[in-house]
Amino acid sequence: MLNDKIVLITGGTGSFGRKFVEHLLANYTPKKLIIFSRDELKQSEMASLFPKKEYSFLRFFIGDIRDKSRLYRALEDVDVLIHAAAMKQVDTCEYNPFEAIKTNVNGSANVIEAALDCNVETVINLSTDKAANPINLYGATKLCADKMFVAANKYRGKRRTRLAVVRYGNVVASRGSVIPLFFRQKETGVLTITDLAMTRFWISLEEAVRFVLSSMEIMSGGEIFVPKIPSMKIVDLARAIAPDCRLETVGIRPGEKLHEVMIARDDARYTIELDDRFVIFPTDISYDEERQRKADVLGGQCCGNDFEYSSEKNTQWLSVEQLGKIVSDSGY
């Protein structure tokens, strides 16, 4: 799928970007792989891991998705674009809303326009569970981006460009996740929990990369792909990391949900279920005919009107023991 292709990933020095690059280098032979990001230090550190003599097709491109002209330059002759650049910290976005909008909304618009004008074949936008029924600015900006990527398929004209969205939950050991925080707090003997009932979806970086690639294989443009992944209780994660520590409840932070949703009930009438994922189609499809046709093509079934995919109602759950193994395998 990616052999002999020119691939570019925005935000390529982030947690997902690094794992994505590692996976591609191990499993594919791209014609060129371009890391597009704005941090020269991270690019330098990443470049040191992949020597030029061995990876001559790897390119590092300094740029910001807020800069449309730079995107046009970077996307020349690109076949596949993975859009992973974003402001992602809920707290940071809450207190810097204008900056979050400039990056997550305006920057995403730049990515779409540049991808269309440069005739990029396949475009995947990485989203988040916080984009479903958002209550914080980060989720709201990601919902805007999702809507833009879906709608862009309507005005691509005769271009070969297809755009889709991948939405998943919390990533194990990603930068800014709760795991590093718990390990730092472990030394004090007290772990802070916002709410003892809190639940989250859970996915590893490797699983996220594989899900993006498998979604690329079946996309036709305009879909939002949601993986079937397990839920976990934050309190169970804390017990897995520090079973002997005291837990202190500190209250939910601004913009934080008690439970996460990846498919809201209002999206159910546009959603089909496959063996390993859900697919949300654009809201202009016919409920009875078009969605059923798409379900038949992909070998799935339509979801009921009252369906909702939320972390507290999930049928898959991780135990304390399973969480402990996942954390250990992630390098902590």
Active-site positions read 130
Q: How many CA atoms does the CB half-sphere of 148 hold within 13 Å?
A: 22
> In the structure encoding, which two tokens stand for residue 303, read together?
């979801």
Question: Amino acid identity of 260?
Answer: E
User: 277-280 and 224-227: which strand pairing?
Assistant: antiparallel
Q: How many CB atoms lie within 10 A of CB 77?
A: 11
Q: Look up residue 174 and give its two tokens.
A: 């990603």
What 291-294 contacts at long range (C-beta under 8 Å, 24+ apart), as own/partner pairs, is none
Q: What's the DSSP call for residue 191?
A: E
Residue corresponding to tokens 């135990």: 319
**Which residue type, as a one-letter code, is found at position 214?**
S
Kindly give, in sequence order, each residue whose CB lies less than 8 Å from that of residue 266, ignoring residues fewer than 6 positions away: none
Q: Determine the Cα–Cα distance for residues 126 and 142; give it in Å rounded to an integer.
A: 9
Q: Estimate to the nearest angstrom the gap between the alpha carbon of 304 and the chain centroid.
A: 25
DSSP 168: E
Closest by Cα among 5, 3, 47 to 28: 3
Helix (H) or strand (E) run with residue 82 in it: strand 80-83
Residue with tokens 């038949």: 296
Maximum distance among all Cα pairs of the chain, rounded to whole angstroms: 61
Per the listing, tokens 């990533």 go with: 171
- Euclidean distance between the first and the last CA atom of the chain, given in angstroms as a whole number: 33
Tokens for 140?
């709201």
Q: Residues near 328 by Cβ (< 8 Å), separated by ≥ 6?
A: none
